[in-house]
Structure 1
């Protein structure tokens, strides 16, 4: 006699709240509100102090992974299709946000801790890379160190994706621990975002998988925020 797997337990909201949305929607709202409260109360330096040990361990992981990979990287790409907004409108919002609206950048993902421009033209990011909290910098635009972008297998035709941005991801000591290549092209009713990240080839597969999910969450939320700002 074979045992049968019991049906999954489900919970359905029948009545009570008068506003629209599922229980998951309500939970997400409260989670974001709580997270924003802690970020605001702690501030940037408070978050850095709280996460100091995590960051040290995360950066050690990235540094050792980069050394073990001997310059090799594994790419992965998240593709998002947007309707109702052009790539130009979105990228104009992005430029303003990255110039100094840290709150908007942080709000796009629960695991964003610091997103701040540096005096040398680089951009400091403290966020999760897989399960590891890391502090790294984005930069290298227009320099010889970015030659890889022109030859990347993931590069899409200029005619279809004219808006391209590429960057090295590096630690404070200069160790290159990743790369990013984002490409945007308009469609008949919006635009497509082709978001590629490169992690050291020695990293476990889940590190890349989780960053592809990370891309989906943060860019979806940035796109929605850009849309709301336009209105």
Structure 2
């Protein structure tokens, strides 16, 4: 091979050995999830929070700085998921409401979910990655005056097609708003569509927004799959 030639990509294919039809990536995902579940169980919620304390402090500081520099301005992006099968949006949302009573179900939806707990005041405390940052923040107040921004959001879709809507701010313990979320669901002939919008302060690097769009794809796909499994 000469210096100006690009090496051809190398691929590895599972030809035989383990039973079943899963590919190697599927096998690795199974074992990665099992290992992660073991560490979560052994450490417990407080053990995880203690372990991540320095990361949370650094992540919150970075997001707070971006929020203050943005002076209340946000930019958004949307992940759209199409679900086919015998599951409608209203059924999924009923399952989600019930799922918030079981932290294990919520944590299992994404490797970077560390703690998701309901608070006595109706808010939800979340510790997860926001982009590359581990952050401890709160969400809640769906449909309150604090969410008036969602009525004028460019990403807001027609009620006739997406009647199920929820919006919330993501805010630190000191009240600093570090993000916003608008999620919308509408039935289709063969299932339903999820429109999942997230907004980050404009001073945040673009990759923070892009990572959370990927985050949405992973966690909602897993929640939808779990909701479908629970029905059967």
Same structural fold, with TM-score higher than 0.5 when normalized by the shorter chain: yes
Instruction: State the distance in 2 between where 1:75 and 1:13 align.
Output: 40
Matches within 5 A, 1:124-203: 124-203=125-204
Residue 39 of structure 1: CA displacement? 0.4
Task: Tell me the secondary structure at the aligned position of residue 11 of structure 1.
Answer: coil
Per the alignment, in what secondary structure is the counterpart of residue 155 of structure 1? coil
Contact 2:130/2:212 (<8 A) preserved: yes
Unaligned runs of 5+ in 2: none
Q: Report deviation, 1:3.
A: 2.7
Distance of 1:210 and 1:60 partners within structure 2:
18
- Separation in 2, partners of 1:209, 1:47: 26
Partner of 2:14: 13
Please state whether the residue corresponding to 2:63 is helix, strand or coil: helix
Partner of 1:33: 34
Q: Which runs of 5+ in 1 are unaligned?
A: none
Q: Secondary structure at the match of 1:121?
A: coil
TM-score, normalised by the number of residues in structure 1: 0.97
* Residue pair 2:143, 2:167 contacting (<8 A) in 1 also: no
TM-superposed CA distance for 1:143, in Å, is 2.5
Alignment partners' CA distance in 1, 2:32 and 2:64: 32
**What does residue 224 of structure 1 align with?**
225
* TM-score, normalising length: structure 2: 0.97
Note the alpha carbon deviations across 1:19-69, whole angstroms, 9 max, x for none.
220000000000000000000111110100000000000110111110000
Any runs of at least 4 consecutive aligned residues in structure 1 with deviations exceeding 4 A, and if so which?
none
What root-mean-square deviation, in Å, do the aligned CA atoms of Structure 1 and Structure 2 show? 1.0
Q: Which residues of 2 match residues 43-82 of structure 1 at below 5 A?
A: 43-82=44-83
Q: Does 1:97 align with 2:74?
A: no
